[in-house]
Structures are given as C-alpha cells and as structure tokens.
Structure 1
Amino acid sequence: MSELIKNSAAVLAAKLAAGEVSAVEVTQAHLDRIADVDGDVNAFLHVNTEEALAVAAGVDKSRAAGEQLHALAGVPIAVKDLIVTVGQPTTAGSKILEGWHSPYDATVVKKLRAARMPILGKTNLDEFAMGSSTEHSAFGPTRNPWDLDRIPGGSGGGSAAAVAAFEAPLALGTDTGGSIRQPGAVTGTVGVKPTYGGVSRYGAIAMASSLDQIGPVSRSVLDSALLHEVIGGHDPFDSTSLPDPVGSLVEAAKRGDVKGLRIGVVKELGGEGYQPGVQARFAEALELLRGAGAEIVEVSCPNFEHALGAYYLIMPSEASSNLAKFDGVRYGLRVLPEDGPMTIERVMGATRAAGFGDEVKRRIILGTYALSAGYYDAYYGSAQKVRTLIQRDFDAAFAQADVLISPTAPTTAFKLGEKLDDPLAMYLNDVATIPANMAGVPGLSLPGGLAEEDGLPVGVQLLAPAREDARLYRVGAVLESLLEEKWGGPLLAQAPVLGGSR
C-alpha cells in the first residue's frame, strides 16, 4: 500500500504544487488501492481508470509548463452515482438505470473538471438514495471499512466507505435526510450538508427536490472546506440556487478560535434511544469546546420530535413525483409484458416491477397515497405545516446560540441485515440529521471518537443558520483539532486496515 493514499487532500495538494509527487502517481496509488480492497468494500460501482489517469497526466504536463492551476488540480475524487457524468454510467444504484449514460455533466462535475481533479469513479448508494445503510443498492451492499460485517451508513455509504478505506481522498455525496452526515458518523469521516441552494443540484437525480443537497465527503474539516469552495456558488441551471458567493470557507477552517461563541446543545437530540458510547463521546466533545472558551447553552426545539414523521411524508411524496419519469418509454430499462395487450400502462408496470427495489416501491406507494385526493391536506399538507414549525424552532435556537451541536446518529454502525426487515427502525437512524434538511440549514458531521461498547466511530453534528456555512468550518476545525490532540492523531489512524472479517 502506497503511503500517498494516507495523505489528506490538503497535503496532497501541497505535495503536487511543490513537485514532490506527480498527479499520475497520486491517481495511480488510489486506483491501485481500489483494485486491492474494493472487492471487499464494494464502494465503487464504476472505476474510471483511463480518464482519471489522462486528466492526471494533463495536470502534470501543465504544471511542468508553469501554468497556474487550481489548488486541488491533480487531487483525485470519487462521485456518488446519483450525480450524472459524461463518459461514465449513472445508475442511481438501480436496475432501472443500469448501463445508462448521461448526455451531460452535473454542474458540480463540470466544476471538478474545471479544477482538473481526476474522477476515480462512481460510488455505491441505496437505490435512488432511499435508505440509511447502503443495503438497498441493486448492485449489492457496501461494507464499513471499520468492520466488514457492518453497514457504512446511507444512502451515501459508498462515498463515505471509499474515503474511510483510503480509496479516495475526497468524494461527493448527496444529503436528503442525513445521507452525507450519517455515513460520515459511522465511518469516521467528515461529511457536510451545505445550506440548501448553496451548491447546485443540477444533474443530481432528484429524490425529494425540496430536501436534496450535494456536499463534500472527506477525512478532515479543511479538506471538506477546500472541496466545498470548488463546488459551491450560484448556478443559473438550478432554480433553487442561491445568488450568494461561496465565501472563504477555507479561511474559516483555519481560523482556529471558538472563544466567546455560544454553542447550543439541542435538548431533543439526545437522551433515550441514544447509545451510551455515543452520549459519552458527545459529552467529551462539549467539555473540549468549553475548555477552548466556548459558552455551552441548552436550547429546546420541541417540534424536532415531529421531524421524522413529517419527513417521511414529504420525502416519499416528492419521490413518487420525481420517479414518475422512469416509465420504460423514454430511457432506461424497458420490460415488455409476457402476454396480453402491449399498452403503455402494462409496459410501465412490468418495467417498474422489474427495475425498482422493495424500498423504492415502498416509498412510491407511501408518497402516492399521501398526495392522493382526500388525503393531501391530512398528510402532505400537515407535514408542510410541521416543517414551518421546525424552521421556527431553528430561528429561536439560533437567537440563543451561534451554532447547535448534537450527536450525528443515535448509534454506531449496526450489522448488515440487522434492520432490513424493520423499515421503521432503519428510518430512526436519521432522527438527528433530518431537521437540518427540513429547514434548509447547513450541517457538518465530524468524528467524535470510538464507542466503548464496540470500538466503532461516533459522529458529532454541528448546525448553523442558513448561509452561515463558514461557522461550521470554524467550529468544526477547532473541535477536530482538540479531539486529534486528545487521541494523538486522526481517528482513522486507529482503524483496522479494512476492519473485521467478511
């Protein structure tokens, strides 16, 4: 195993700029790592070897010629297979799109290409991002590098596992109810959900359009800030894109000071149902922040208790609408009925029966029911009213605190298959992350340590007001530094090479 793959994106960028290593060497080292371990991890659905090496060679040539390059030029990255890319298949983890190639790049992919970052490939996910464990992929589950018998979180478990297994220094994910942050928590990585509209969603296959958000996955807060600055900013192709400039997130991550900041502990995001080891690590993080000069205050957000129920009405309703285009007629899989008349309705039924997995079918049925005549006001309309109350809770909380803090997930990674037959238990994994999506505020998860019960990673979540992503990076970088000083290095340095046995 090359030592290069253990370097952060920031360190790799510095080595490349100094000429200590070539982009081809860095990219090849990560491709070799994928070849060595991904048969066990299953983080990648497609590996983009030829193009990645060609981009890296071009970066080396330009650098040798003295051209001015982006700071991350030559630093490789993986992309969640929900984000469309020219030249690589985009499947959304579903049989219904198996082998499909997009005719255009997502805006975030265009920005990666403009920065000349080699794209290593597309990462695994729960089908159409519907899941909390990456067990609902049509192409097999991804495994947690800490313990291959456990889940890597979801829906973006492939991106988090790729970064945790040193297969990629950076990755892109999408977060609808915690799908970047929750995998970050259980794999010991950093995951960020930007402010809604702060990063373009153009080219991300939509599950729930009012909740989805693309964001960075990395092994450090600084690395996430570097990637966030690449992909952020206004996009005229996305009608929900904010006009704001992306801001100096890297500078915020380097500021290194929380003195005088008020950090609010959310009363409703803790206590009963949270694993003792999760609560212990969270309490330690609070003490470290208090010791660094932050003021710790308790805030109450009473409507957060209803966030999970409201989310699981809004999200499937929007998903049922967004997935209506997968009809077996325009693109993707087409299955013809075996007998009877060849009508569009029957072709659609046969295609969806074969192409969609159980979880996708479950959510389409739930969403269609919630939107149906006679039930719209009782279910979808009522859930939107709860959403407004959650937004008001955030407003009240941020009047008392500069940032909010909570555990990212109530437990560490559970075993593969443990909750597949209990969808409600699976949905509870997102109880702490969902409120941020309901309100559109930014959230960041960083490693908080290992739980005593099982030696698996715990995540700490930070939340900031909308458009104040820089606060997350400022506080997150300080807490990360304090924790690593306590541990004697990054959390992933304590991980087994691959974790557990198969």
Structure 2
Amino acid sequence: MNANELTIAEARDALAGGELSAVDLTMACLTAIDAGTPLNAFVHATPEIALDQARAADARRGADAGALNGIPLGIKDLFCTKGVASQAASNILKGFKPEYESTVTSKLFEAGAVMLGKLNMDEFAMGSSNETSCYGDAVNPWKVDDRRLTPGGSSGGSAAAVAADLCLGATGTDTGGSIRQPAAFTGIVGIKPTYGRVSRWGIVAFASSLDQAGPMTKSVRDAAILLGAMAGHDPKDSTSADIPVPDFEAALTGDIRGKKIGIPREYRMDGMPAEIEALWARGREMLADAGAEIVDISLPHTKYALPAYYVIAPAEASSNLARYDGVRYGHRARLGQGDGIVDMYEKTRAEGFGKEVQRRVMIGTYVLSAGFYDAYYNRARKVRALIKRDFDEAFAAGVDAILTPATPSSAFGLGEMAEADPVAMYLNDVFTVTVNLAGLPGISVPVGVDAKGLPLGLQLIGRPWDEAGLLNHAHVLERAAGFVEKPRKWW
C-alpha cells in the first residue's frame, strides 16, 4: 500500500511510531496529485507550503504534536488561505489571494495538518455536479463505462481527491447537501455538522443561514478526528456556538443497543430507484441487527423543503454576492468611454459570474423584491420553521437518529443533466436540504454499489449538537456494510 492510500487514523499511528515521516507521506500525496491531473480535483497545488509544513511536523513529533500532525489534506477553494489563491471557483475572484486565514484552516494548521493545495468546486458552491466551476469539471474517479462521471457538488473536487487517494482527507462545505451528496457519489464519508458547530469565518459565503463546513474522509473514524480539529467556538463568527467540543473519536464505541432509529415515510419518493429502496432496507436491517430499535416516523413538511430551500438560498446568495462589484478586489471589466459606475457593476458581474450563479442571484433578487417578499421569502421562512418543528417532535419522541437515502441515484455522467434542465439538477438535493433548513447534523456513509458498480450512500441525521452520537451510529453502519471497494485507477 502506498502511503497516500492510508486513512488519517492509520497515518497518525505510523507517524507517531516513526514508521513514516510527514515528508514521505506528503511526497506520496504530491506524486498522486501529479498523476491525478485528469480528475481536475486540485486547482491550486501548494507543494512548497506542504513540504515546509511537513518538515515542521517531523520536527515537532512527540507529545506536543497536534491531533493532525503531518496529515496531508486538501482544502476546498471556498476557504480563504493566506497568500494562496482563494477563488470560490469563480472568474470574478480571479487573482484574489487573501491576507488572512479562515478559522477552519487556522485550526487545522494549529493541529499540525499539511495543506496540499486548493480543491475544485462548483462556482460559489452553487451546483450539484461540479460543472459550474471556472476551472472546468472535476471528474469522479469511479468509472464503469466510457463516460466521465460527476463526483457530485459542490464539494466535487474534495470528494474526487479523497476517493482517489490524492489526499488523506479534505474540507468541504454543505449548504443543501454539498458534502453528503458528493461523498455518496464517490464512496467516501462526509459529515455536515450542526449549524454553528464549525466557524464560517473566512469561508466565502453562499447562504449564511445554511452554510456549514465539515470533513470529507475515507472512514467514519477519520471524520471524527478531522471534525474534532475543525470544530469549536469562534468569536469572529456571530453564529458560532459556544459549546464544548467532545472527543468525537472516543464516542465511536460501536454500541447502539436500545437506540431508536427513525425511518421517515415521506422520504419514500415516487419513482425512487429500486436499488436505493433496497439499500435503505439493508441499512435498517444492519442497524436493527446491532440492537437498535427501528421506528416509523413522519416528517410531514418534507415535500415543501426543496421549494423553500430554492427560495431562501438564492435570496441569501443575492445579498452575499452583491459585494462582488469590481471595486475593491477580484475581476473588474474593461470600461468604454463614458461608462459610469453602474456600467462597471453590470459588465463586471456579467463577465465574472457563471450562468448558474447569475440564475440564482436573479431568483434571489426577485423573491426579495418589494412585491414578492411576503409571497415567497417570508412564506419560505415559515415553511422552514415547520420543517425544523417536524424534526424537533421526532427527537422529542425519543428518536436518536434518522436513516434516509443520501441521493436519489448513483453518479451520473458529466453533461447529462446540467445543460438540459437546471430544475432536474436541483432534485439531487431532495434528501439533504431538510437537514440544512433545520440546522441539524447529517452524515453520508458508503454502504454498497449499484448494478453498474457505482457507490451508493445512506444518510443518518442526528439530534442538534449530537455529532458524537451520529458518528457512532455511522460507525456501526460502516462496520456492518463493510464497504471496501475503491475506484479502479484509470487516470
């Protein structure tokens, strides 16, 4: 096994035991990144920074070393990294190199992590297939025919990089499923923590009441280790919760006897593929075999989640993206004689924003406009409150976690859906957006493959602030499923 194929937990033990140096581990990943160019996962490689950090990790090995000392990670292009291009995969931020470090990357570096570079994503995190990026499509390392498959989105580069062993783990962000859907499409683990568990400071904003950063890893144990380093209160983020961060790894006892797992009847969608239905049934059996009690529950407002999400998220995006005007940083359009400031705004945004971002900004501006604010935005906020209440009632009735499919299908071909029908693309988020609207933690675990041989995931949804319990349920599911398949190397 090459060093880059190790899990974070395995590499940590090998580094601590002196069987491996951080420099060797980092070099193995950098070599894999060079070979992985066809995947288009890494868009800004930082080998010099990585090797400097690896040498520093080797120098401080021992009792004082952090939880991630010497562990090479990929960072989604949405996280601001000091002196390193942070474009959110948008032409409007071309050339932008922040003068500051996001709280998440600061915490990872404090824990001793090594940054291999920045990862591809959908522009401003708007997309479910990584096809809206200014860097071009990221490609799923899984391949079953002559098509190039999507790794999912918006954290598609993160998912592809982890699945292809280009890094040991990666950061992602999740606004409506952007960690969990790509994790399911690539056969890895991805957790979206409770809203407020991880600081959003220094992460380029899409929809501020929904965005949450989280880890994308090769195993549930790795997710627990990485989340422990990312989480914590941050006074620079007013939505960050001042709640102690438990030892998530220590919570992985593998014992869920007597726990109640809810199965929401509303997640049985019309036309759901038989393979997804069968996988869900298998998941229920695996958790029941581990001693959990399976109960049917109702989340009656689920059917309104997608419409509510696609009002609230674009509304917040139109507000957040108003700052990209060509005045202070990023791209500025060339102006003709006689052009005024309004012309500069219009030309800059027309050139800098891609089609999907323009579409969502226009939807958002429309639903916030004077005549439609109550009809759309306010109504969507009320529906959001009802969706959250559904979950609150289920948890109040004693449910410990909720099991659902992660995605309505396995990975589809690049180009098959994006241009044809943007609304059909939005349906990829059908099982995931409720979790963001309610601010809950959710995790995708790879459980099997479909008839074509492509990975499929199941989603577990946890109580607010109970990532520890959620990770333990996921650990049990992962162990029972025994998913060990890896993509065959074609790149």
Same structural fold, with TM-score higher than 0.5 when normalized by the shorter chain:
yes
Aligned counterparts of 1:122 and 1:279: Cα–Cα separation in 2: 36
Task: Name the residue aligned to 1:199.
Answer: 198
Aligned counterparts of 1:418 and 1:402: Cα–Cα separation in 2: 38
1:273·1:410 contact (CA, 8 Å) conserved in 2? no
Task: Name the residue aligned to 2:393.
Answer: 396
Task: Name the residue aligned to 1:68.
Answer: 64
Matched residue type, 1:100: F
Task: Name the residue aligned to 1:47.
Answer: 45
3-state SS in 2 of match to 1:268: helix
Aligned counterparts of 2:63 and 2:392: Cα–Cα separation in 1: 47
Task: Name the residue aligned to 1:24.
Answer: 23
Task: Name the residue aligned to 2:262.
Answer: 264
Task: Name the residue aligned to 2:360.
Answer: 363
Measure how far apart 1:67 and its partner are: 5.5
1:22·1:60 contact (CA, 8 Å) conserved in 2? yes
3-state SS in 2 of match to 1:475: helix
Deviation string 1:411-436 (CA, Å, 9 cap, x unpaired) is 11111111112011000000000000
Matched residue type, 1:18: G
Aligned counterparts of 2:118 and 2:44: Cα–Cα separation in 1: 5
Q: How does 1:276-295 map to 2 (within 5 A)?
A: 276-295=274-293
Q: Which runs of 5+ in 1 are unaligned?
A: none
Q: How does 1:456-467 map to 2 (within 5 A)?
A: 456-467=454-465
1:281·1:450 contact (CA, 8 Å) conserved in 2? no
Aligned counterparts of 2:17 and 2:68: Cα–Cα separation in 1: 13
Aligned residues: CA RMSD: 1.1
Measure how far apart 1:340 and its partner are: 4.8
Task: Name the residue aligned to 2:228.
Answer: 229
Aligned counterparts of 1:396 and 1:68: Cα–Cα separation in 2: 45
Aligned counterparts of 1:25 and 1:274: Cα–Cα separation in 2: 46
Measure how far apart 1:31 and its partner are: 0.5
Q: How does 1:38-117 map to 2 (within 5 A)?
A: 39-63=37-61, 66=62, 68-117=64-113
3-state SS in 2 of match to 1:12: helix
Measure how far apart 1:270 and its partner are: 2.5
Task: Name the residue aligned to 1:123.
Answer: 119
Aligned counterparts of 2:437 and 2:314: Cα–Cα separation in 1: 14
Q: Which runs of 5+ in 2 are unaligned?
A: none
Q: Among all aligned residue pairs of Structure 1 and Structure 2, give the percentage whose two residues are the same amino acid.
A: 49
Task: Name the residue aligned to 1:303.
Answer: 301
Report the more deviating stretch, 176-185 or 278-287. 278-287
Aligned counterparts of 1:316 and 1:468: Cα–Cα separation in 2: 29
Question: Which of 470, 481, 488 is residue 496 of structure 1 equivalent to?
Answer: 488
Q: How does 1:299-448 map to 2 (within 5 A)?
A: 299-337=297-335, 339-400=336-397, 401-420=399-418, 421-448=420-447
Matched residue type, 1:142: A
Q: How does 1:230-245 map to 2 (within 5 A)?
A: 230-245=229-244
2:45·2:116 contact (CA, 8 Å) conserved in 1? yes
Matched residue type, 1:112: L
Aligned counterparts of 2:45 and 2:428: Cα–Cα separation in 1: 30
Aligned counterparts of 1:424 and 1:498: Cα–Cα separation in 2: 32
3-state SS in 2 of match to 1:444: strand
2:445·2:478 contact (CA, 8 Å) conserved in 1? yes
Matched residue type, 1:491: E
Matched residue type, 1:83: F
Aligned counterparts of 1:491 and 1:381: Cα–Cα separation in 2: 46
Deviation string 1:25-67 (CA, Å, 9 cap, x unpaired) is 0000000000011x2100011011001001101111222xx55
2:79·2:204 contact (CA, 8 Å) conserved in 1? yes
Aligned counterparts of 1:340 and 1:353: Cα–Cα separation in 2: 19
3-state SS in 1 of match to 2:251: helix
Deviation string 1:261-300 (CA, Å, 9 cap, x unpaired) is 1100111112423222122122111111111111111111
Deviation string 1:98-149 (CA, Å, 9 cap, x unpaired) is 1210010000011111112110110001000000000000110001100261
1:281·1:451 contact (CA, 8 Å) conserved in 2? no
1:447·1:491 contact (CA, 8 Å) conserved in 2? no
Measure how far apart 1:451 and its partner are: 1.0
2:67·2:229 contact (CA, 8 Å) conserved in 1? no
Deviation string 1:324-369 (CA, Å, 9 cap, x unpaired) is 00001111000023x3522111011111111110000000000000
Divergent runs of 4+, >6 A:
none
Question: Which of 131, 139, 142 is residue 135 of structure 2 equivalent to?
Answer: 139
1:288·1:482 contact (CA, 8 Å) conserved in 2? yes
1:412·1:458 contact (CA, 8 Å) conserved in 2? yes
Aligned counterparts of 1:347 and 1:340: Cα–Cα separation in 2: 12
3-state SS in 2 of match to 1:161: helix
Q: TM-score, normalised by structure 1?
A: 0.95
Aligned counterparts of 2:15 and 2:238: Cα–Cα separation in 1: 37
Matched residue type, 1:448: V
